[in-house]
Amino acid sequence: MHDNVALAFADQIIYRFSKALDSMGAKLFKAFMFFQDENVDKPFMDILNSLEKLEILEVDEWFELREIRYVPTLRS
């Protein structure tokens, strides 16, 4: 029983982490750039580079987070 609860808990954390990254990438970053009067009709990589120039994030760290999100599913 305890293992099932721990597994369900871990599954929820992974799911919410993935959803948070998806939302940030799809909505938050573009909304932020839009309110900075930046063009948001450009490739996502260009948006990430613009955010890096503003010292909001580091592109390499963003991609590390994207990779981390898949590690638990690969070990299953």
Residue tagged 């305890």 (tokens): 2
CB contact set of 48 (below 8 Å; sequence gap of 6+): 29, 57, 59, 62
pTM here is 0.76
C-alpha–C-alpha distance, residues 1 and 67, integer Å: 31
Distances, alpha carbon 9 to alpha carbons 3, 4, 35, 66, 69, in Å: 10, 8, 36, 20, 15
User: What is the per-residue pLDDT across 43-54, written as a single tens digit (0 to 9) for each?
Assistant: 999 999 999 999
Percent of all residues in the chain with a pLDDT value above 90, rounded to a whole number:
61
Give me the domain span that covers residue 8.
2-75
What is the number of structural domains in the chain?
1
State the Cα–Cα distance between residues 50 and 72, nearest whole angstrom: 30
Residue 75 has pLDDT above 80, yes or no: no
Nearest residue to 69 (alpha-carbon basis) of 28, 13, 3: 13
